[in-house]
Amino acid sequence: MARRLGWRLFDTGIMYRAATWQAQRNSVHLDEEDSVTELIRASDFHLSPRTDAESVEMDVFVDGDNATPHLRKPEVESGVPTVAAIAGVRVSMVAIQQDQASQGCMIVVGRDIGTVVLPDAPVKIYLDASEEVRARRRAAEQSGGADELTVLKATQRRDRRDRGRSTSPLTAAPDAVHLDTSELTLREAVDAAEVIIRERIPTPAQAGAGQPAGQS
């Protein structure tokens, strides 16, 4: 979608992964919420477009170091849920996300974008699919052929945790367009999202800077 519109893609999940990596490399125990929050507040997080001309994604730097190559490591994967649930960390990350989104049109992805991060975004899409379909897709993405049942249980735990957290819980914004992709191919899902965006922003290529227009 970002490539079609000539925008940047900002998956806000990389911020929480980078925060987890920062805590781990500084030997801060992830269960010590105050210590993690203090570290994250004192750290410098910076997003930069990737140098690859074909890429629409961004790299995240922490205190000058590129964290992106480390964000999919198993230890980071396992620690993200704990760090992402810390209220103080989320407050810091939301401020960074809002600043980044103010710099131009982009597709912003995350579980609290339309409700907390960018409640005034001109387009909000609540992208959904059944738990079974999402587990199958995630298992296919993982190297080594992940077991679908294991991934399904992890997906269900994540959904319960994100819906139940006190800060930025997972919920659809009242004015979001619900797009269920359970029966759609990737191309069909992107086509459907593009229709939604173009209905609200007829000429997205000319949309003004500082107006993040596609949220999901």
**What is the C-alpha to C-alpha distance for residues 141 and 65, in angstroms, rounded to an integer?**
27
Domain ranges, ordered by start, for the chain:
2-215
pLDDT of residue 159: 85
Q: Are 4 and 82 in contact (CB under 8 A)?
A: no
Q: Report the percent of the chain where pLDDT is more than 70.
A: 92
Name the residue with tokens 């010590």.
32
Q: Is the pLDDT of residue 208 over 60?
A: no
The fold adopted by the segment(s) 2-215 is Rossmann fold (3.40.50)
Distance of CA 5 to the CA centre of its chain: 19
The pTM of the full predicted model, rounded to 2 decimals, is: 0.83
Which long-range contacts link 139-143 to residues 24+ away (Cβ below 8 Å)? none
Buried b (16+ CB within 10 A) or exposed e, 183-204: eeeeeebbebbeebbeeebeeb
pLDDT at 210 over 60: no
Average pLDDT over residues 22-46: 97
Read out DSSP for 101-161? HTTS-EEEE-TTIIIII-TT-S-BEEEE--HHHHHHHHHHHSTT---HHHHHHHHHHHHHH
pLDDT, position 184: 97
pLDDT in tens, 87-108: 999 999 999 999 999 888 899 9
